[in-house]
Chain A
């Protein structure tokens, strides 16, 4: 069995499962946010049960339009908050919160070997710690909140092997953009993507979160990494309950194996309006694409190592006049660490704006919505038409290094164009 199959088998009470099989899996954590919880709560009420199966296994995070951008979003957040109080579900108030997919691993709420379901498509992020985590809709979450389990079809696993040593500014974001560019937005439809190879082992946890986060952008049900020493180091100090580590069997039962030589991969930029439109940065930088806005943050790239790279680029430089650069730390902890590490000062001196944690502009909610014909380069995960505002705006996706370099140049630029110390975390 593959790693994903082993976790699912254990949660279905079976010795063995195989791809295509329908199972009922016990869930360890259920997640909802200010957009998806209101519908989940409404559907939960229809079930005729008064209590959720286990409030400690449910987490609700106000992050999308929070801090509330208007009355309607305030009502949604209040509805969710009230439900959490009624049921005793952990709720992260503004001031303690973060973007859900930054917050949950950071708080040790999701752990290796877990099955996690969330009413948010980027729930797949937790595959970075070796959990089987997948996004679902609000009704699924409503049912699971009552029963503690969920029906699932066991996905086939596609193994991605990344050979070789990474180039200086190439991070997890570049690898995943390259991969989606290679296989397409439905290249892993319904499947689990297992990321392996020596280049993956060399990646820091934050880069792994970025890659798992974007598995959904290839249509995948989950993205998953083997638990190694880096994972253990990350989870051990955070875990407040025991967890189990699973491994793929030798040979596994992979639907497909795809191999890349990372020495050939340079930083990537995804052109509008699909994450699969990935191109090497050198090619895009040549086109002199002027930008109005830069966003650095989100559940994809709003972690400390992402901000460190952005700071390395911005240190001693200024954001180009006529360009606005908005940086959104992914959680209060990331914000505090960035503050203590001197990153926030670098950002402010460079002329960037620093926001409280929120999804904000990533989904065109607030804090950086685009006007028609405006161009933005962002470290977020989706550049669909209208995603960050006007359907006539243009959105490019890239790593923090490329986004920050572009902020300095006022056009889409390669990290190599900036005199910067450091490199990507390994």
Chain B
């Protein structure tokens, strides 16, 4: 799948309270959560983000709580993928499980700024910065995770496993 969008870049250790503040966790629908996505560190994010846009960050993106509300809010805000130098562990699982693509690339983060237009090929991991005319490559997923993603996320993967168990 190919993605294309404008970059919104943040620093290191963007935590889950920054992505979706805990005071909104009485909601669990993506569309409602998206209204408050990033608001404590980038008030107005939801107004400027366009479908397909890309969130970029330095290291340890998504640290903090296990709330799946975080990737749900990002996805429902229309963000097509998140690119960072590294991700927090639980956020990484959650995003893969619900089908929000994450890419790890040191070079893409080092050579991209807010407002740049990126094209991302999820199949090859190629990240093309159209603004700066540069091409980068994301770290490939381990085989197991690639399988999980191609199965369509954890729920689909589990359905197949359970069907096989019964068979």
Chain A residues in 8 Å Cβ range of B159: 47-48
A38 and B27 alpha carbons, distance in the complex (Å): 9
Q: Mark A83-116, 1 if CB is under 8 A from B, else 0.
A: 0000000000000000000000000000000000
In chain B, positions 61-75 with a C-beta closer than 8 Å to chain A are 63-69, 72
A186 touches B60 (CB 8 A): yes
Q: Mark B109-120, 1 if CB is under 8 A from A, else 0.
A: 000000000000
A120 and B94 alpha carbons, distance in the complex (Å): 12
B66 touches A119 (CB 8 A): yes
A386 touches B17 (CB 8 A): yes
A139 touches B40 (CB 8 A): no
Interface assignment of A189: CB less than 8 Å from any CB of chain B: yes
Q: Mark A173-197, 1 if CB is under 8 A from B, else 0.
A: 0000000000001100110000000
A143 touches B15 (CB 8 A): no
Q: Mark A375-403, 1 if CB is under 8 A from B, else 0.
A: 00000001011110101000000000000
CB-CB nearest in chain B for A79 = B28
Tally of chain B residues near chain A (CB < 8 A): 42
A415 and B98 alpha carbons, distance in the complex (Å): 47
A42 and B72 alpha carbons, distance in the complex (Å): 14
In chain B, positions 22-62 with a C-beta closer than 8 Å to chain A are 22-23, 25-28, 40-41, 59-60
27 example contacts (A-B, Cβ-Cβ < 8 A) are as follows: A22-B142, A36-B66, A39-B28, A47-B159, A70-B26, A72-B27, A76-B28, A137-B98, A139-B97, A140-B94, A140-B97, A142-B154, A143-B155, A143-B158, A147-B158, A153-B142, A185-B13, A189-B88, A219-B88, A363-B23, A363-B65, A385-B17, A385-B18, A385-B41, A386-B21, A386-B23, A386-B40
A375 and B27 alpha carbons, distance in the complex (Å): 28
A219 touches B60 (CB 8 A): yes
Chain A residues in 8 Å Cβ range of B68: 36, 39, 119, 137-139
Chain A residues in 8 Å Cβ range of B137: none
User: A399 CB to closest chain B CB, in angstroms?
Assistant: 21
User: B9 CB to closest chain A CB, in angstroms?
Assistant: 18
A185 touches B60 (CB 8 A): yes
A121 touches B26 (CB 8 A): no
Central interface residue in A118, A140, A190, by most chain B CB within 10 Å: A140
User: A368 CB to closest chain B CB, in angstroms?
Assistant: 13
A189 touches B66 (CB 8 A): no
Chain A residues in 8 Å Cβ range of B69: 35, 39
A186 touches B144 (CB 8 A): no
- Counting chain A residues whose Cβ lies within 8 A of the other chain, the interface size class is 35 or more
B66 touches A382 (CB 8 A): no
Chain A residues in 8 Å Cβ range of B59: 186
B162 touches A146 (CB 8 A): yes
Given A72-B27, A137-B68, A382-B64, is A189 in contact with B17 using a C-beta cutoff of 8 Å?
A: no
A47 touches B162 (CB 8 A): yes
Q: Mark A59-79, 1 if CB is under 8 A from B, else 0.
A: 000001100011011001000
Interface assignment of B89: CB less than 8 Å from any CB of chain A: yes
Given A49-B162, A384-B17, A385-B41, is A121 in contact with B66 using a C-beta cutoff of 8 Å?
A: yes
A138 and B154 alpha carbons, distance in the complex (Å): 11
Chain A residues in 8 Å Cβ range of B65: 120-121, 363, 382
A137 touches B66 (CB 8 A): yes
B90 touches A22 (CB 8 A): no
Interface assignment of A274: CB less than 8 Å from any CB of chain B: yes
Given A119-B66, A391-B40, is A64 in contact with B88 using a C-beta cutoff of 8 Å?
A: no
User: A18 CB to closest chain B CB, in angstroms?
Assistant: 14
User: A255 CB to closest chain B CB, in angstroms?
Assistant: 15
A387 touches B63 (CB 8 A): no
Chain A residues in 8 Å Cβ range of B158: 47, 143, 146-147
A136 touches B66 (CB 8 A): yes
Given A139-B68, A139-B94, A386-B40, is A364 in contact with B21 using a C-beta cutoff of 8 Å?
A: yes
